[in-house]
Structure 1
Amino acid sequence: MKLNPTKFTFGVTSGEFFGYIVTKRGIEANPKQIDALINLPSPRNTREVQCITSRIAGLNRFISRSTDKCLSFYQLLRGNKRFEWDIKCEEDFQQLKEYLASPPILAKPETGETLYLYIAVSSSAVSGVLVKEDRDEQKLIFYVSKTLDDAEKRYPTLVKLALAVIMSARKLRPYFQSHSIVVLTNQPLRTILHSPSLSGRMAKWAVQLTEYDIEYHNKTSAKSQVLADFLVELPPELIQTDLPDEKWSLYVDGSSSSQGAGIGIRLESPTKEILEQSFRLEFPASNNEAEYEALLAGLRLAQGIRVKKIEAFCDSQLVASQYSGDYDTRNDRMDLYLKAVKHLTDRFESFPLTRIPRSDNTSADTLAALASTSESHQRRVIPVKSIDSPSIVLPRGVCAVRELDASSMDAIELPLSDVVDEPAEQEPTTDDWRIEIMLYITDGQVPPDRWAARRLKARSAKYAESYAKIQAIDVKKFIWKNIICRHGLPYEIVTDNGPQFISDVFEDFCAKWKIRLSKSTPRYLQGNGQAEATNKTILDGIKKRLEAKKGLWADELDGVLRSHRTTPRRSTNKTPFSLSHGMKALAPAEVGLPSIRRTMLTQDSKRNGRMIKDSLDMLEEERNRALLRMQNYQQQIARYYNKRVKGRHFETGDLVLRKVFENTEEYRAGKLCAKREGPYQITNVVKPDVYELMTMDGEMIPRSWNSMNIKRYYY
């Protein structure tokens, strides 16, 4: 085998490689290609424009925002337009020649080096540049650019920025796979791409970007003159100057004492972002004057961030009543304060001032008290942290916690003589610990030893909870103990129309904790689909294990539940157990087999503990990935299912007919029974395809109904 001498070069300081000039300084554009483009005359027909664009394509990696610079050339080639080389095209052509007269030199990244990505968006293209830092100097690696089609031009600005990142990742895939990438942007890209509520193309892009090690940092000052094109990330026409027309909430409070006066401000946005400020008044002020100063400072803060609609709350009856006109101002100082407030409120589109109890204004009151008691001219930052456990060791038997009610937790004092002392060390046993608990619950059998019997009764109390009939109070206790106390307050609970869930007791409990209670529509199981799908899976598993003896289903329930919790779901690609606990469940076969998990990890407990903590740290990210995958999976199924579905949509006030079921059909009508009954009037749209109905006599139907079971009434 011989080497072709025309294709190999050894022992040289520079040379041509793949059409580029590689030197000690870096990668340079081929002078022959640049001269060929610079020496071209202005084109006279479409073919000569194609010649220009083909030569530009070979130099794209050296041209900053090449699509924006060459957009006029590409537009000449679109469609069957008549060739017209105008002044704009000639100016762009001459500017491109001036730019290529001194092309940039590209650098080569080192292994393991962090690279930085700048992105820019215009009305017609998205661009990016990959750079590296070398001795506090930013050196170019690659320019990329993409023309926006008609659909992409209508994307929102943040979606265009995300498109710039995903375009750079696709074109520079080798760099993204072998290096850590830092995206430098002043826009909230990280918040958008890591949001669990993503859907559509944004969710798809977010999943694709999880393959790489990407971080998002605020843009700093550019350290290279060649990055001047990326200093402006968005053109002026894409920058949103008007804030959403939504109402903000302002809580203010003033405090005056012998130590001084202070004010506290809490400004809350419609999306629940909070701005808190605390000021100390460096002049003598009464309590009413401090209240007015707090209101004026809050209005100036809201005006500074261009809020249009705001609702203010204070606990001062004097300030609220004087502003509404119920009270008169009896001195000049109060009159001047009132005029200053009205002068500022005239600049807002909406400004109601409401008096609230002091107990509802604790945040602003705390900030005001902090400012009034602090030392003058002292600036400080007070971090708020938490202490998880007491700093002292309580003696045995001091306090035991028992759940007495779903809305309260009380501490019960136990005498020292009733405390069960656990032995310091226990001998390992191979017996099943569940057997003695089952014998005690079913037959009342206890060990002969008094202390062993007491320990067994205490352990069995956790498992001996059964109900002959489930009442609303039982559901309330179950939600409190197993959901709220373990996992926190849920946002929404979806139930069927069982009497336990539609009772006033359970509805009042959800309203007290501000939990949204959604009931599935009757005769439409898909409304409670998650629970019904789980029940269907469990029932199928039990049926496959049982033969003729169907009454033994309880013996097979544990195995079916374990199989359900440890089997990966197609929608999430994860097991329910791993998403709940952060690691894979131990298979029963591993108990008797010397697997790596049971032999190696158990020998090094510290390392095993660190690995468990690492898994818990990544748990939230795994849940977000599973959520993105599940949403994409649901949307794909919905698109396929709805391809030929013609939806029924109604508005409030429409007349509809409801489908007749067994409990509402006419007695002994048989086949002659009417298929629909009504008409009913729609009074409320609960959510898409779910409606509340009312009879023509004004009587409300107690359940909401799905559009599948109602039909428009034509009259």
Structure 2
Amino acid sequence: MEEERRDEKLTRERLQEEEQEGPELGVCKISERNQCENKYGLQYDKKGKVGAQALADFVVELTPEVGERVNTQWTLFVDGSSNESGSGAGVKLQGPGELVLEQSLRFQFKASNNQAEYEALIAGLKLAIEVKIDSLLVRTYSLLVANQVNEVFQVKEPALIKYLERFWLLMSRLKEIVVEFVPRTQNQRADALAKLASTRKPRNNRSVIQETLANPSIEGELVASVDRQNTWMDPIADILAGEPSGVMRYTKEQIREAGHYTLLDGTLFRRGFSSLLLRCLPPGKYESVMAEVHGGVCASHIGGRSLASKVLRAEFYWPTIRKDCAEFVKKCEKSQMFADLPKAPPEQLATISSPWPFTMWGVDLVGPFPTARSQMKFILVAVDYFTKWVEAEPLASITAGKIVKFYWKKIMCRFGVPRAIVSDNGTQFASNQAREFCEEMGI
């Protein structure tokens, strides 16, 4: 036995050496190898060629697709309940393994028992569509609902017809669905959830998804119509994404301006000189961005220029950003309430003709007034142009001598000789006596 094993080992080593030598083997060696194979029961299989196409087909066949969902059938248990205290529905969605989703719906509207059963069925289908299930087995305790959706019973009630149409609309979004009737003993959990919704107040059991349905599912869903208006971004986006024939309808300035922008996944961005790409905003979103930056969580109610710079640092852009930020700050109540008091006057300043105090006076007569003591009924008034200081004296009669006396006593003796006295050239002010007095004093 040992000799046979030794011979067999030597034969294998010789065969390996012959395979390494390749085409240099002679005819005698090939015949000798065949004799050894027959003697010891060995079999030599030559390795065949593997085609590249076969290998590629193998890889394609066994490589799973990205995001491929496993077609696993889920089971949906539904039941509705309606009584004097209210109505509700229970939904139990059971997946592979121990995955279970439970939902309890309470209705704020009156519903019959059949309507509650349909509401439970529709709520279960919405939950299955949200979970992205392809194959679904629905089990319901209502024999009427099970036979109507399977087109065994005829539907005559108008409300149930609308529920059936709603069911068919949701069923079209699933690849495979089967509805069957089960006795109450096999649908106890869904029945308990339905009674929970119809008899108790919501949020008593936090382990179950509890919702309140305000309106029946057959009522038309609200559809918001969006009226899109042209914005400042449309020409730039058309130039960047359009064909050369469509670009020709824009001016050279618009084409040159579009060079500062770029499109990434359909979103328009502006290239910054010292910052990252700035996202361009349509007109409807200016207000929300400025409100968040100006008065948000980390805001300090800054001014218009600082607000515009901070919005740019937040990587947002629109053409009128500086003007809009300045106008937004003016409308902010807190900014106006706690801002520094303005140092500028409320109106435009007027030039002052008098360079220093008491060098120019304005004089005039006021009256006549009702006669007072000593027959006083006129007032002679003088006002300094610089300090607005007022000097006044009552008069019983108006004469040139009293005017000259007022100049000397009220003005010159108190404030010195003025440079000029301005009057309306009345008879008393333009008299020879007053004129000679002013020329003598150098006024």
Higher relative contact order (CA 8 A, sep 6+): 2
**Structure of higher CA gyration radius:** 2
- Same fold per TM (> 0.5)? no
Q: TM-score, normalised by structure 1?
A: 0.20
Q: TM-score, normalised by structure 2?
A: 0.32
